[in-house]
Structure 1
Amino acid sequence: MRKIVYSLTASLDGFFEGPDREIDWHQVDDELHQHMNDLYRDVSAFLTGRITHELMAKAWPAVAADPDATATMADFAAIWCAKPKHVFSTTWQSTDWNTTIHREVDVEEIRRLQQEPGEYMSVGGPDLARTFRELDLVDEYRVYTYPVLIGRGRPLFAPVDARADLRLVDLRRFGNGVTLQHYAR
């Protein structure tokens, strides 16, 4: 059964974005980007909310066509564009980039998706991830902590009435000071 993995970035003080949705504090260098590419190469599907999908669909297809893009950026663009995507939205009517729209998170449908071939599915977007946490659907968490204090913004995890006991699988430090804490249920 395919696992569901939530990969997220955070400032040291626990925010994933600033108060105006800014993420300009992310310090993604070639080493970190290559690491992400290597992980996402094994993703069998991306599960996102509408906002996350719109941001990705706006950026990465253009990078794939940009001859001046770095090799790691072009590699990620190719990975993202090729993978199946499932977008959860009550308002979106149509999309492209090999994307299926779901109106709600249906646990039975998610379990069916988990039975399809592939290594794991990546859930992205804080609101969707919260729903997946509430429904006990997240198998692993990969938290990338950036060495910056941004002071305020949206917290890494919104409050939910669901406890998840985790075990540390891996801890890694990157040259730019970012750390990865990889946890599994």
Structure 2
Amino acid sequence: MARKLIFGMNQTLDGYIAAPGDDIGWSGPPSDELFRWWLDQELASELTLYGRKLWETMSAYWPTGDQQPGATPLEAEFARNWRDTPKVVFSSTSDKAGKAGELGWNTRLVTGDAVAEITRLKAGDGGPMTIGGATLAGAAVRAGLVDEYAVATHPVLVGGGTPFFAAMDSQVHLDLVETRTFPGGVVLTRYATRR
């Protein structure tokens, strides 16, 4: 049985994960309930796949997130889990992502064909995998590799930037799995790919 691949991120109401200039500050700090939901997803994941830009954002903070002044217990748990969970970083510009031996934190670098590697990982044994980063996830979506989508939509419009979904080659039909509202007007929707 193939491993499940889940693409989940926060997005604006107009469909962007980052505003112009790669600005992700539009979401502000998440509520404890939303942060807990994301943490639970991460705890259930056995492998995290990152595109280079998202890797750079995550690795700039989470290796020491539990040591930051004012870190909450949830943030400390997220940081510990982030360090311990195996990660794969996909980059066509490996000089920006770092050399394979320099990434650290249970992470390896892939500079070759991302779709081929994700296909190989899905065919292997193990629990669910999560994928993040618009370009990387877009390639996995177009290749039909994503099994589930988790979209936390925030009540803000940014007018442009990096879209949650990249251009598609064909339609993907989905089944609604869950809807949930979080403080601050954030609405979570989860969908399973109809196979």
Q: Does TM, scored on the shorter chain, surpass 0.5?
A: yes
Give the structure 1 partner of residue 33 of structure 2.
Answer: 31
Percent identity between the aligned chains?
39
**Relative to structure 2, which stretch is displaced further, 93-102 or 2-11?**
93-102
Q: Deviations over 1:140-175 (max 9, x none)?
A: 100110011222222221212132111101111112
Query: Which blocks of at least 5 consecutive residues in structure 1 are unaligned?
Result: none
TM superposition shift of 1:115: 4.1
Q: Find out whether 1:44 has 2:52 as its counterpart.
A: no
| Contact in 1 for aligned 2:90/2:114 (Cα 8 Å) | no
TM-score between the two structures when normalised by the length of structure 1: 0.92
Q: Find out whether 1:158 has 2:187 as its counterpart.
A: no
- Residue identity matched to 1:151: G
TM superposition shift of 1:108: 4.8
Give the structure 1 partner of residue 147 of structure 2.
Answer: 139
Runs of 4+ in 1 over 4 A off after TM superposition: none
| Contact in 1 for aligned 2:114/2:136 (Cα 8 Å) | no
Q: Deviations over 1:56-86 (max 9, x none)?
A: 1111012123363111111111111110001
TM superposition shift of 1:91: 2.5
The DSSP-based 3-state class of the residue aligned with 2:180 is: strand
- Residue identity matched to 2:10: T
Query: Which blocks of at least 5 consecutive residues in structure 2 are unaligned?
Result: none
Give the structure 1 partner of residue 18 of structure 2.
Answer: 17
Q: Deviations over 1:75-131 (max 9, x none)?
A: 111111110001111222322111111123454543332244433100100000111
Q: How many pairs are equivalent?
A: 185
| Contact in 2 for aligned 1:3/1:120 (Cα 8 Å) | yes
Answer 1 or 2: which has greater helix percent.
Answer: 2
Q: Quick one: distance in 1 between partners of 2:76 and 2:126?
A: 23
Give the structure 2 partner of residue 3 of structure 1.
Answer: 4
Q: Output aligned runs, 1:27-176, within 5 Å.
A: 27=28, 28-66=30-68, 68-92=70-94, 93-94=99-100, 95-176=103-184
Q: Quick one: distance in 2 between partners of 1:155 and 1:111?
A: 24
